[in-house]
Structures are given as C-alpha cells and as structure tokens.
Structure 1
Amino acid sequence: MATQPSDAELIAGLQARVKELESENAKLLSQLDVCRSHEMEKKLHGPDGKGRECKGNMKSEDKIEKNTGYDTRFMSHHSKRYVALKVMYFGKRFYGFASEAQMQPTVESELFKAFEKTRLLVGDKKESQYSRCGRTDKGVSSVGQVIALFLRSNLKISAINIGNSGEVVSDEKLEGEIDYVRVLNRVLPNDIRILGWCPAPVDFHASNGFIIIHVCFDRFSCLSREYKYFFWNEKLNIPAMESAGNKLVGEHDFRNFCKMDAANVHNYRRHITLFEISPTDVRYNGNQLWVIKIRGSAFLWHQVRCMVSVLFMVGKSLESPNVIDVLLDTTRILRKPQYIMASEVPLVLQSCEFDDIKFMCSSDAGYALQSHLVNECQIYQLQATIFHEALLNCVPLSNDQSLLSFQGSKKKVSHVPLMSRPTEPSYEERRAKLNIVG
C-alpha cells in the first residue's frame, strides 16, 4: 500500500510547481513583448524599416503616436547595446543641456522624450547607464556634444548578459541594426539633431571615460573638448587679444577665470592645449565676424566665457595683455576680481574627442540631416534679411551721420581696472563658510 505524502512534501511539491508556472509565464510575457515590439516597429517604420508614406499632406513624423509614455519594464527582455551619440543643438530656447535644471525645456529632456517616443529606451534613465560629455549653460549651442547610454537593438545575438536587464549586443555587429540617427531625428525638435552614432564599450563613460563606479579606463578617456566663440571685430585690437590668449595655453590654476563651486570642485588646475583667433568669411555692414578657438582636456564652470570676457577688455585696450599673467598667479591674486562674463549666445561646444569612437551615419539619414540643416540655414538667412529691410526703412539719420559713424559713436562706459575692483571670496573662505554651515 502506497504511503500518503506528508504535508511538508505536498507543500514542497506545490512550491516547485508554482516556480515552474512562474518561469513559463515569464517566457510567455517575453514572447508577447517581442511581438508587441515588432508590431510597433512596423507601425513606426513600415515592414521594410524605411517608414510608410502618409496620406494627404501629413508629414511622416506626424504619424508617430503623440502619447510618449510607456512602461519601460516591458522592454527589459529586449536586446540592447551601449551607444554613443553625437548631438547638435541650437541653444537659444533651452535652459541649458542638463535636465537637472529647474527650468524647462532642456536639451536632455527633449532627447529622453525622443528615446521614449521611439521606444528605444530599455529600462529607466538610471538603468540606461546614461552619461554626457559636458553640460552646457543656458543659451549655449553645440555641434559636437557626446552622450552614451543603452538603447534597444534589432540584433538578437548577444555577446554578454548583465543581470536581468536584457541581452547586450556585441560592439562589432552592425548589419541590420536600428538606424538610430534617422529614427531619432524624425521625432526631435528642429533645433536638436543627432549627427552620428557609434557602438561603445559597456565601460565607456562620455563625461570622462570611466564607468559609474569610477574605475578609470584611459583608453576610453575624453581626449579633448573644443569650444568656439564668435564675435564681431568692431575695432578690437586683435593682435593684443592673440598675445593675451596665448598666455592661457598650458596648465594653470584658472580659479580667477571661472564661477567657483567650492562645494564640489577642489582642483582648479586645467590644461589648455590650443588657443587660436581668426577671421571667418562672414561680413556685415563692413564688419567682419571672428572666432576664438579654445581646446583643453576639461573646463571649469563658465571658464570659457570668463576668459573671453577678459580678452575683450584687452581687445578694447582697457587692460594690458599682461593682466592674464596676473590673474593666473593665484599666489598673488587670492580673490577673483568681479567682472561680467561674456554672453553665452556666441559660444559653441565644437567637439568632444575620444579614442576608438568613430561616429557614423547612413546615407539616407545623412541626406535627410543635410537637407534639414540647409533648410534651417535658409530660414535664419531669411529672418536676417527681414531685419535688414527694417534697418533700411527705419527713421533716417541726419545728413551728417551715417550708419557706420552711428556704430562708432556708442557711448563709452567708464572702465575700472580689474585689479582695482571689488573681489569675490577666495576658495579657502568659501570652504570655511561651507564648514561652518555644515
């Protein structure tokens, strides 16, 4: 006669069966998620992946669902890959790049809206291992910002698996992959564009080349960041500015050329590798547009705008080029003189350079990108023409005046020499105040 199983054995058997059912349910949910994703891909881009024609005059971008919210947990079983993206944005309407800013919109917030709208984001922002090469201020533009994060991949063959967050596609596999440039540019606003993408190693970190746990990988470090600052000549002493700017090259303590963040930054030494000042081919009303190019491994908060501000004082013959030497001597000048930074509008983050990161763009995406940028240039040229027409039709000046003489008769503001101005608290004074508060 067979013995009846004990209560403990029955419970153990039921628990094992529950685990089997949970495992089977998870597999079915994963298959359902894949089917939903394929269906969404067809809706977004058509069965051939090139996008469907829209009826009437509706643009192809308009057919993408307006509701951008979706539960990224349902994407967790998708293949994904770590991707570096090269980003261009015109900063005029943005409150800086980083989404931590209290004001909206920011460039970063618009990018993540696009990631969600295109169903490219796998998991939330934290799980995506997101990083950026820099965080430009309100109004600053870029043609070479670099970000990196995990994005959904079309490729199903995985190289490695990290926990339960989806399979990671190996770096070298490219054929059949999502055209990230084309897909994202179709939904991004007109003043943001992805210029290229590149598969990146999973330990790549766009800000400084190391992973979140701060273990350094020199191979993936950001080699340099380059900024350009555009300005009209307006009778500036360009040779004096060039002489002063060359003094910035090399490794120096730039605490007198930045907005000090004593709570988070304790080392103000930075290395400037290049300074150039040159004319562009743009002229207007007899005035030529010039550009300052500055390259370095890293920059402090507002450093470029502070350096340019002092250079303008030199160009206007208000300060000697030697004022740069004085401000760089932090053993002598312990407290930064108060002065206004140069405007943020002409500042452009030109490039962020890395080893082994070669950005690419498909021919279709490249053609669409170039067409868009040409169209934007034409729009701004048209706006400039309209303002020029207004200038020609404004109230006439008296007979003994001309537009050029009017420009040259701007009211001169009395200049207080930098070394005679009130000063800001020194780093040590700021730290002491923070320690008292803490």
Structure 2
Amino acid sequence: MFEKELIERIQQLNSHVTQLRNLLKEEQVSKRDEKPRRSFDHTKYARRHVFLHVVISIDLRSNLCEGLGIFIPEGHQPKSSSSDLKDEIRYPYLLNKVLPPGIRAVAWAPVHDKLSSRFDCKHRTYHYYFPKADLNIDTMKVASQSLIGEHDFRNLCKMDVGNGVVQFTRRIIDIQIEAIDEDTTSSYAMYRLKLVGQAFLWVRCIVAVLFLVGQGKEEPTIVQELLDVGRNPRKPQYGMASELPLNLFTCSYPEEDCKWIYDTESLRFVISDYQKLWTESNVKATMIGEMLNCLEQLPVESKMENQIKGLLMGAERKTYIPLLKRPTCESLEERIEHFAKRKRIEVVDDTETT
C-alpha cells in the first residue's frame, strides 16, 4: 500500500512540474513579445520649474513656450505659441493618478527657476497628534513656551555631523498645544501640538521631552536647561517620539514668488480619496474603542492610561533617571573633530541641511 501511494505522489509531482514549465514558457514568450520601452527624451519638450503643494520643487514638461519658470532647450521648436496657463499641463491631476496613496499634490505654482521649495520657504508648520493619556497638558504648555525664539537645538535634535551639519540654531515662531476633541476629561481625548518655525526642526525630540514633562518625570524648566548649551554642551541620551503622528502640515512662501493654482477635478479626487482613508481609519478606531469600553468595565487593579506608550521609542526603564543625570553623547565640537580627522565630512555651515 505504501508503494502505491508513493507512486501516485510521484506522478502528482511530475504533473505539477510540467504545469510550472508550461507557465514559465508562456511568461518567456510574453516577455519576448513585449516592445522595449523608449526612454523619454526631455530635450524635445519645453520644461517648467514649478512648486507642488507637497513641498516639492521640480522641473516638469510644459505645453507652453514662454512664462514664469519656462525653459526652452537649445534647438527645440515649440509646437504651440501659447503662454496662457489655461493651456498648461494639469500637473496635480496627472501626478495624483500615479503617486502612492499617502502622497497627493493639491496645487502647483509656476516659479522662478532659481527658487527652491526647501531653501526659500518662509516658515513651516508642523503638527504632532497625541492622546491625553495621563499627561499633564498644562505643564507641557508651560515647558513648550521656552522653545519660542532663536535657540541652539543641539540637545533637542539628532546631530547629523557625519553629513556635514554643524549648525543647529533654529527659530521657532510659535508653538501651541490644542485640544481637538471637545471632551478633554477623557484619557482618549486627542491633542495637537502645532509648531511654526523657520528651517528644519527636530519635532520628535521636542515632543519626547515634552512627554516627559507631561508625565511628571521632568520639570518644565528642563527645556530651558537643554537649550542652555553653555551649561549643558552634551545631549543626554533619550529616545525620540514616534514618527507616526508627525505631519509637516504647511510650508509658506512669499506671495509674490508663489501663487498656487488649483484644479477643481483634481481637488475632488483628493478629497474623495482622503474621505475613504478617513472612513477606514475611523472605523478601525471605533471598533477598537468599543472593545476597550468593554474591557475597561472588567475588574482590574487600577485605572490604565497607557495610550502614549506606543509613541515612546526605546525600552521603558524600571527606575526613571532624570535627563541631566543620564550618560551624554559626544559634544558637537568632539563630533566635528572626530569626523574631520577621518576626512569623512566637508563641514557645511547650513541651517537648512537636514
């Protein structure tokens, strides 16, 4: 009986191998029949330097022969003499059809070819979302106000000296911690940290320290201490907050340099797309919320408010060590000397380098 089963099994495997070989042959034939893709020749088209409302400056193909940001390659013969923006390519409409679901172009703007969406940005607005949990929001607000103004953020950043970044002075214009939900008594109430600043900011480091203040592990004055690089030239070792709730919400440019152009059909597509995303996320949140409502009615030793635990990086210490008593990283000067000796960096004094 065993021999008969073995023979049947071998026959089945042989049949399966034959099927796989046939599939491979079909795939090879289809590949041979495919026409080779031609590389796109940009020299045959006019180009336009534009900003996209996703913090991008890019050169794209243009239908027009003249206008702000238009560049005509040498020897190119325009097919159209139009300079009317109504005849221009619908950039957001086309791009949104091929961009990943989490990235959408809302608008575009023709700009001078020397303008950069990064270096010519007047200010950036960051949002960081988090639940109230067991946080003392009032003490977080007090601590956050010390960040306003121009400071050296070397103790509130990830020092990327290896890439030549040696300047960590930034200016924060405003910072607010605002309730999103009306009921702020619940530990599930959502809050938003809104931070407006010039240049790139290390929001995740800032939030990590504010969370420690909100948990009562640090005094609000810790922010001032960390900004005082004379007294504290070395960054204490601590983990950043999660990147999940961080959103570079808006970037602002001078009105005379950047006038956004919106496409109604494209906007409707984006809104519809994000409504679907909102539905999926909110349904999941509601389902989990109802499960928690039931679970929290069961007998537990004490009330649990661990909602921000998932936003804190690194292992939680059993015994908390205050930031200023922790081991520290190398000072900025030591790191510069280290990389300069290895000739791994060309020092760049650039407040915009990230």
TM value normalised by structure 2 = 0.75
1:189 is displaced (CA, Å) by 2.6
Match for residue 322 of structure 2? 417
Higher RCO, Cα 8 Å, sep 6+: 2
Q: Secondary structure at the match of 1:229?
A: strand
Question: Structure 1 pair 322/388, CA: closer, same or farther in 2 (3 Å)?
Answer: closer
Question: Structure 1 pair 261/189, CA: closer, same or farther in 2 (3 Å)?
Answer: closer
Aligned mate of 1:176, from 87, 103, 108 = 87
Alpha carbons 1:76, 1:166 under 8 Å: kept: no
1:405 is displaced (CA, Å) by 2.0
Alpha carbons 2:134, 2:187 under 8 Å: kept: no
Aligned mate of 1:437, from 339, 342, 345 = 342
1:281 is displaced (CA, Å) by 2.5
Aligned mate of 1:428, from 307, 311, 333 = 333
C-alpha separation in 2, matches of 1:420 and 1:171:
67
* 2:101 pairs with 1:190: yes
Match for residue 28 of structure 1? none
Aligned mate of 1:201, from 103, 108, 112 = 112
C-alpha separation in 1, matches of 2:124 and 2:252:
7
1:205 is displaced (CA, Å) by 1.2
The share of aligned pairs that are identical, in percent, is 35
Question: Structure 1 pair 160/342, CA: closer, same or farther in 2 (3 Å)?
Answer: closer
Alpha carbons 2:47, 2:60 under 8 Å: kept: yes
Match for residue 335 of structure 1? 234
C-alpha separation in 2, matches of 1:179 and 1:380:
30
1:193 is displaced (CA, Å) by 1.1
Match for residue 37 of structure 1? none
Match for residue 381 of structure 1? 282
1:199 is displaced (CA, Å) by 1.0
Which deviations, in whole Å up to 9, do the C-alpha atoms of 1:43-101 show, x marking residues without a partner? xxxxxxxxxxxxxxxxxxxxxxx99964122x3111221111112xxxxxxxxxxxxxx
Q: Which runs of 5+ in 2 are unaligned?
A: 1-33, 310-315, 344-354
C-alpha separation in 1, matches of 2:293 and 2:102:
30
C-alpha separation in 1, matches of 2:270 and 2:179:
27
C-alpha separation in 1, matches of 2:108 and 2:228:
42
Aligned mate of 2:198, from 297, 305, 327 = 297
C-alpha separation in 1, matches of 2:152 and 2:81:
42
* 2:265 pairs with 1:364: yes
Match for residue 40 of structure 2? 72
Counting matched residue pairs gives 297
Question: Structure 1 pair 171/339, CA: closer, same or farther in 2 (3 Å)?
Answer: farther
Q: Which letter does structure 1 place at the counterpart of 2:266?
A: A
Match for residue 122 of structure 1? none
Q: Which letter does structure 2 place at the counterpart of 1:207?
A: R
* 2:212 pairs with 1:313: yes
TM value normalised by structure 1 = 0.61
Aligned mate of 1:225, from 109, 124, 130 = 124
Q: Give the alignment's Cα RMSD to 1 decimal.
A: 3.2
Q: Which runs of 5+ in 1 are unaligned?
A: 1-65, 88-145, 209-220
Match for residue 354 of structure 1? 253
1:309 is displaced (CA, Å) by 0.8
1:250 is displaced (CA, Å) by 0.5
Match for residue 269 of structure 1? 169
Alpha carbons 2:52, 2:105 under 8 Å: kept: yes
1:222 is displaced (CA, Å) by 1.0
Match for residue 305 of structure 2? 407
